[in-house]
Structure 1
Amino acid sequence: MDRIYDPKVIEPKWQKFWEDHQTFRTDVWDFSKPKFYALDMFPYPSGVGLHAGHPEGYTATDIVSRMKRMQGYNVLHPMGYDSFGLPAEQYAVTTGHHPEGFTKENIKTFSHQLKELGFDYDWDKMIATSDPDFYKWTQWIFKQLYLDGYAQYIDMPVNWCEELGTVLSNDEVIDGKSERGGYPVVRKNMKQWVIDQPAFAEKLLEGLEEIDWPESTKDMQRHWIGKSTGVEVKFQIVGGGEFSIFTTCIETIYGITFMVLAPDGQLVQDLMPRIKNQEEVKAYIEETRKKNDMDRTELNKGKTGCRLEGVKCINPANGKEAELFIGDFVLASYGTGAVMAVPSHDQRDFEYAVAHNIPMIQVIDGADVSEHAFEKQDYLGKGCKLINSEEFTGLTVEEAKEAITAKLEKMGVAKRTVNYHFREWIFARQRYWGEPVPVVHTEDGKIYPLPDDELPLILPELEDYKGKNGKAPLENAEEWKHYDKNGVKGLRETSTMPGSAGSSWYYMRYIDPHNDKEFADYKLLEHWLPVDLYIGGPEHAVGHLMYSRIWNRYLYDKGLSPVKEPFKKLVHQGMILGENGIKMGKRFPKYVVNPSDIVEKYGADTLRLYEMFMGPLEVSKPWSPQGVEGARKFLNRVWTFFMNEENITAENDGALDRVFHQTVKKVSGDFESLGFNTAISQMMIFVNACYKNGTCPKAYAEAFVKMISCICPHIGEEMWSLLGHEDTIAYEPWPVWDEEKIKEDTIQIPVQVNGKVRATVEIGVDEGQDSVLEKAHAMKNVQSFIEGKTIVKEIYVKGRIVNIVVK
């Protein structure tokens, strides 16, 4: 009979089958099998739906999940939605409609697109961070953080966007403007909820040694944490007052010629009455407020500043006065908010001193203090000695570090300490569409966390979803925000949590998503964690991936998570670019390829096959319509051969033995290492061999269908069915290879004459030396170089080379 490959018929058929039979539903309480937990970074359900870049990582986890299931693992592969956030908020502000309906419609669209791509998700375990059943537990975990002192309510400088009416994180601010909308952003002090990230810094650094992550990502986290060991030193201000600095180069303290304070720090405000050039200082502070922390800390922007005329400090090491400046590269929120400046031995300090005509004192011998000095050598290198440093002159840098620290400790003005670049995680947004913070500010000025039986604290409906006069939208909920229960009176917190709150623990909830007694059963967490394979973009390296590690480590320390680290293996997929190499996504909508369009024209299996064959998973690559056509042609070729009953035989003549077993071995290994493009190449080699041979044993055909079904599940299921099977292919045993049948009977080895290769000869792998030499002598190219000459020596290295020496 004619068998037609028609994806428009085949794919909906099997999608309905999987849904009706709950083929991929995971019994999380089945501990009889080894577990495999595969996870994708879940998407934000925007109104535009998926683009062609989304399925790349999703297909990768899908392939591995399907293979592991066939290998006998109990596989958990869930999907959900990071559904709180600004786009839904802006929809609510614009339309006046509650964002929940908008969000649910987007989730419906995304889910339809994911299902039409054939992913093996357990949809029974779907979660959305904006679902009260989910965010009840986000609120509960936040409450525990607060009770244990890790969530704090403090006054601190933040990035404020008046137009959006909210605080923004540093990565949401570009060149002083909001990433969304390009609105002006300024720095201002506000009461904020924060999570004490530095409290976890050392544990996070230790944890990086235990996980299989890209080194580049681990290095980014180490840099972001920014651990440094040094000395904190107190400096007295002439006329009263003091401040502290942290330094890793205490040996240069005699080279201080000025100090720099954070413009937005309280100390500068306290000193303002004593500053003679107040107008200049205030103007500089105002300019600083327009810059975010990232802009301020870039080295090429570190030369701006303003002298505090009339105010000086005293160097405790030698009692000498040093001038005070403010500079925007010093942050009030980082360290002590002040730095010592040694322009002879620091690039930024040198440039700053040149720009502001500040004198320099050289304290390390051999330093060439000039414009290009710091490009030439490291003046603080091992073995260098101090000069101009009073009693420490002549000591090496290493000796001086200890001796000067000891002197200052004895004076009571210094202590050894560890500092981190890490700062508090600002955990509040003046938005509506986020988790309400479950606390009440009581009339007596205290903070009252809601009791567990009042969770979830659900968002109220509003008539106006836009904040007013710098206040959060929830300030409009007059009835909701007033609290009077159990003898407690006050106002609810009207800031909401950031979008990263729910995503910091969602991987736990997938394991037990319907539990209304706790965020997840500990026995289930103990069995399923950590996540075995996590795939997502590298842009989350110091955001989501850091936050998830912090929340997990907190829960681990509290005995609520069984693992120190949540994600065992992390892989970053490369971007799929537009045809012209431009990134697909919300910023460049005209370059977006809609996967539904590809599915409509070619089928989901073609899209999946093409994206996996484009190149290595981790590499970015441009979209190619011709490549899509090629993927479809290959599937047609597969279908045409294996669905022709005359090509499938009951007997095995051995002709395909080697290529079949090679294919099973390579595909198995490549799937495990996520080398999908090379696995597909090997499958193409097998298909070509089948065409060349004319027939294929049914056992080999079935094994091939199992392998390709992981990449192209619809055609895989259909071919499996037409090969005579009634059950789904999903739980069939994975094919195995025989190492003996992979071995080559013959090999090609080079033949050298006097050290130069003159020919190659085909020999049996176990052929004896005499026979090999006889074959080598018989080669025409070899004969022309040995004829008429005396053979001095002949060497045969088994299976590798023949070398003939003549004279």
Structure 2
Amino acid sequence: MYNHQEIEKKWQKYWEEHETFKTDIWDFSKPKFYALDMFPYPSGVGLHAGHPEGYTATDIVSRMKRMQGYNVLHPMGYDSFGLPAEQYAVQTGNNPNGFTQKNIEYFTSQLKELGFDYDWSRMVATSDPEFYHWTQWIFKQLYKDGYAKYVDMPVNWCEELGTVLSNDEVIDGKSERGGYPVVRKNMKQLCIDQPAFAQRLLDGLDEIDWPESTKEMQRNWIGKSTGVEVEFQIVGGGKFSIFTTCIETIYGITFMVLAPDGNLVQELMPRIQNQEEVKAYIQETISKSDMDRTELNKGKTGCRLEGIKAINPVNGKEVEVFIGDFVLANYGTGAVMAVPSHDQRDFEYAIAHNIEMIQVIDGQDVSEHAFEKQDYLGKGCKLINSEEFTGLTVEEAKVAITKKLVNMGIAKETINYRFREWIFARQRYWGEPVPIVHMENGQDYVLEDDELPLILPELEDYKGHNGQAPLENAQEWKQYEKDGFKGKRETSTMPGSAGSSWYFLRYIDPHNSSEFANYELLKHWMPVDLYVGGPEHAVGHLMYSRIWNNYLYDKGLSPVKEPFKKLVHQGMILGENGIKMGKRYPEYVVNPSDIVKQYGADTLRLYEMFMGPLEASKPWNSKGVEGAKKWLERVYRILIESDKLSNTNSHELDYIYNQTVKKVTNDFETLGFNTAISQMMVFINECYKVNSIYKPYAQGLIQMLSCICPHIGEEMWQLLGHEESIAYEPWPIYDESKLVSSTFTCVVQVNGKVRGKFDVPTDTDQEELKEKALSLESVKKQIDGKTIRKIIVVKGKIVNIVAN
């Protein structure tokens, strides 16, 4: 019997010493395959049971592709900037670099003990100056081209963490890390102009093999809408614009709503008669995140601006003006028109604030007395109460009203996006320093290439004070002087998503000191052929990396528009209680190192791939782990310890072997690992039934199994007389002519219920099938004392006996 601890250490040492999985990156003679995992943050806790699932999936496919003659690139690295290391630095006063390096070493040791085929010579870490040199360089290009810029805008501010947070880092008004309160406040922020990339990001979704749910999330996040921007005058002076996709309802406006935190409200404040009420509502609003104010808010809260009225430009009618937290200052124009008869949110708002309603589209009752409110009455309906446009269809009115407003000089047709600026500055220490200097003459200076990388200084105090970034404590570092001009360095750092927005390019050429990657190499290896990671990154990392890659493509620095050709989201490994592993149920948290020690890495890999479909969430089951170990022992016994292997083919396994090769190959290609394992189990069962196993068939099974369980695969391969690693052996092929079985399993039913089975040659005639069916003991018991009324034979499938 094999000893998993000895065998696994033996082969891990072999792979490392022989550099088995090192990629010859300049070998263009073979087809390429680039497999990638979303790289982890190296926390001090180390891997949990969910990590190996996705990593094993890419490992299996990489190993198969290598055997199929592909030149495989399968790298691993670390997203090593982030808040946990920052908090460690604040709490201990130690530089987070040492803490991070220690975690990286621990993570690496865990990954190596799981037997993954990573090319460790290509490892990157986003906190390594050799890496973030080029993060700074790419940012510099974005800044010079106007895509990165400073903008005065409302932001998510977390006082406890002392930093700005992106929308996806805020959950229910609190920081994702730590659960601290987050408020909205206006600050000058370094941003990246995401809306400039909106349309090409939408177009690119049609070119990639991604889960449709993820594509739809990105489409919704970008939020494209085509409509009309219209200017409204304010009674007594002033004006604002609104954007609408339903211009045909403009005669139904009964009130307007402005963003509470917008500049216009502050400008109008001296004219507002209920200032205290308005100011209180504004304070209430800034404690909410954008998500709370839009997706989760039903739009009923708000406050009337007493003394302020707007003029509807189509009829000169004065309407009330409100502020409502569902309107965002940094989205669109920061103002909306409200037509409560034809919009659900506006309807609820009007009911809550006792505002009149005007129906302008005919079709059904849309008043407050209607039992069921409809969002909108559109196609095929006609306008009412709309002056000269009354009687036109909705489609006709859209065109006609737009034309009137454009001719009046107060409107324009436009495309709007929900997509907003990506705030690209954090008031934190542990991130890439921004290569910008604010000069005394008021100009911003971007560091020259020979001044990069701008390296983080060590500090005595890593905590920011009074809302200032920790790098404000670096008195000497932040002072800059060149050619007689003085300035102060930008002391905010880049967000953690900066390095992960382009790391997939650096893997291809990780030690290049003259450019972020050689273009010829990028042209050969990009795009990533298979990218596996969690769905939680759908509108964060996956969006940001598409933006950076699209930009680099436009600059002629990346050869492809889209970085990830095929994307797969692995499901979550749950605790045995069916709930996500975590602090709440520590007894259900599974440490993969414990499983490796007790059962072996191969067992862990096999079990996680056999749990169910890769994309599904699945509960952990300790008995399932034991079952996986027992099956591997069973494989070892029949293929290594038995005396069944023969160099002569008895042809007993021809059909099942060729069927297994075909199915496993197809299943690996489609990431159906659980069904591939099931097929291998069927083959092993057949091996136990026959007198001899054709050695090439045993070797083929070992090759396929070695992709899932590489240590035992290598060991069995060697024990069968091979001196070289199994990793580069040609992939097994199947013979289509042998996929026609010479026998079949005939099912026997009595009165519709299965009572037995037997195997017979496919050419067995009907009479013989009847005789064999009636001779089965289990069938005899069912028909004893009964009269057989009918026997139905479906050749090649079933014998059905009807008796009473």
TM-score bracket, normalised by the shorter chain, equals over 0.9
Code of the aligned partner of 1:544 = H
Residue 301 of structure 1: how far off its partner (Å): 3.8
SS at match of 2:185: strand
In the alignment, structure 1 residue 90 sits paired with structure 2 residue 90: no
Q: 1:198 aligns with which of 191, 195, 220?
A: 195
- Structure 2 distance, partners of 1:419, 1:432, is 36
In the alignment, structure 1 residue 343 sits paired with structure 2 residue 359: no
Number of corresponding residues: 790
Residue 275 of structure 1: how far off its partner (Å): 0.5
Code of the aligned partner of 2:11 = W
1:606-630 Cα offsets, whole Å, 9 max, x none, are 1001000101100000001100000
1:179-208 Cα offsets, whole Å, 9 max, x none, are 222222111111111111111111001100
Q: 1:329 aligns with which of 326, 329, 338?
A: 326
1:383-402 Cα offsets, whole Å, 9 max, x none, are 10111001001111000000
TM-score, normalised with respect to structure 2: 0.94
Pick closer, same or farther for the CA change 1:375–1:551 going to 2, 3 Å. Answer: farther
Partner of 2:727: 730
- Structure 1 distance, partners of 2:291, 2:114, is 40
Pick closer, same or farther for the CA change 1:779–1:690 going to 2, 3 Å. Answer: closer
In the alignment, structure 1 residue 105 sits paired with structure 2 residue 107: no
- Structure 1 distance, partners of 2:732, 2:466, is 66
Q: 1:242 aligns with which of 231, 239, 250?
A: 239
Residue 299 of structure 1: how far off its partner (Å): 5.5
Q: 2:533 aligns with which of 536, 539, 546?
A: 536
Residue 592 of structure 1: how far off its partner (Å): 1.8
Code of the aligned partner of 2:101 = K
Instruction: Please report the RMSD computed on the Cα atoms of aligned residues, expressed in angstroms.
Output: 2.6
Residue 298 of structure 1: how far off its partner (Å): 2.9
- Structure 1 distance, partners of 2:15, 2:7, is 13
Q: 2:378 aligns with which of 381, 400, 415?
A: 381
- Structure 2 distance, partners of 1:304, 1:378, is 19
Residue 775 of structure 1: how far off its partner (Å): 7.1
Pick closer, same or farther for the CA change 1:729–1:750 going to 2, 3 Å. Answer: closer
Residue 178 of structure 1: how far off its partner (Å): 1.9
Code of the aligned partner of 1:328 = D
Pick closer, same or farther for the CA change 1:629–1:764 going to 2, 3 Å. Answer: closer
In the alignment, structure 1 residue 633 sits paired with structure 2 residue 630: yes
Unmatched 5+ stretches in structure 2: 775-782
What percent identity do the matched residue pairs reach?
77
Q: 1:272 aligns with which of 238, 252, 269?
A: 269
Partner of 2:353: 356
SS at match of 2:341: helix
- Structure 2 distance, partners of 1:25, 1:539, is 31
In the alignment, structure 1 residue 499 sits paired with structure 2 residue 493: no
Contact 1:51 1:585 in 2 (8 A): no
Contact 2:277 2:303 in 1 (8 A): yes
Q: Which moved more, 1:439-448 or 1:321-330?
A: 439-448
Residue 240 of structure 1: how far off its partner (Å): 1.0
Q: How does 1:102-251 map to 2 (within 5 A)?
A: 102-251=99-248
Contact 1:574 1:617 in 2 (8 A): yes
- Structure 2 distance, partners of 1:534, 1:110, is 20
In the alignment, structure 1 residue 613 sits paired with structure 2 residue 593: no
SS at match of 2:240: strand
Pick closer, same or farther for the CA change 1:687–1:776 going to 2, 3 Å. Answer: closer
Pick closer, same or farther for the CA change 1:786–1:583 going to 2, 3 Å. Answer: closer
Contact 1:366 1:379 in 2 (8 A): no
Q: Which moved more, 1:362-371 or 1:508-517?
A: 362-371
SS at match of 2:110: helix
- Structure 1 distance, partners of 2:601, 2:377, is 60
Partner of 1:27: 24
- Structure 2 distance, partners of 1:300, 1:201, is 25
Residue 774 of structure 1: how far off its partner (Å): 9.8
Residue 348 of structure 1: how far off its partner (Å): 0.4
Q: Which moved more, 1:546-555 or 1:176-185?
A: 176-185
Q: How does 1:372-411 map to 2 (within 5 A)?
A: 373=370, 375=372, 377=374, 379-411=376-408
Q: Which moved more, 1:262-271 or 1:378-387?
A: 378-387
Contact 1:299 1:348 in 2 (8 A): no
Partner of 1:547: 544
Q: 1:516 aligns with which of 513, 516, 521?
A: 513
Pick closer, same or farther for the CA change 1:656–1:764 going to 2, 3 Å. Answer: closer
Pick closer, same or farther for the CA change 1:598–1:525 going to 2, 3 Å. Answer: same
Contact 2:90 2:461 in 1 (8 A): yes
1:637-689 Cα offsets, whole Å, 9 max, x none, are 11111112512112111111111111111111111110111111111111111
- Structure 2 distance, partners of 1:175, 1:221, is 21
TM-score, normalised with respect to structure 1: 0.94
Q: 1:678 aligns with which of 659, 675, 697?
A: 675
- Structure 1 distance, partners of 2:297, 2:335, is 19
Contact 1:761 1:776 in 2 (8 A): no
Q: Which moved more, 1:709-718 or 1:479-488?
A: 479-488
Contact 1:751 1:776 in 2 (8 A): no
Code of the aligned partner of 1:500 = S
Contact 2:202 2:219 in 1 (8 A): yes
- Structure 1 distance, partners of 2:758, 2:686, is 24
1:81-132 Cα offsets, whole Å, 9 max, x none, are 0000000000000000000000000000000000000000000000000000
Partner of 1:62: 59
Residue 486 of structure 1: how far off its partner (Å): 3.0
- Structure 1 distance, partners of 2:609, 2:748, is 41
In the alignment, structure 1 residue 653 sits paired with structure 2 residue 650: yes
Residue 776 of structure 1: how far off its partner (Å): 8.1
Pick closer, same or farther for the CA change 1:510–1:17 going to 2, 3 Å. Answer: same
Q: 2:736 aligns with which of 733, 736, 739?
A: 739
In the alignment, structure 1 residue 440 sits paired with structure 2 residue 437: yes
Contact 1:749 1:762 in 2 (8 A): yes
Contact 1:773 1:802 in 2 (8 A): no
Contact 1:581 1:621 in 2 (8 A): yes
Unmatched 5+ stretches in structure 1: 788-793
SS at match of 2:320: strand
SS at match of 2:308: strand
SS at match of 1:140: helix
Q: 1:461 aligns with which of 458, 463, 484?
A: 458
Contact 1:245 1:338 in 2 (8 A): yes
- Structure 2 distance, partners of 1:86, 1:441, is 26
1:386-422 Cα offsets, whole Å, 9 max, x none, are 1100100111100000000000000001100000010
SS at match of 2:643: helix
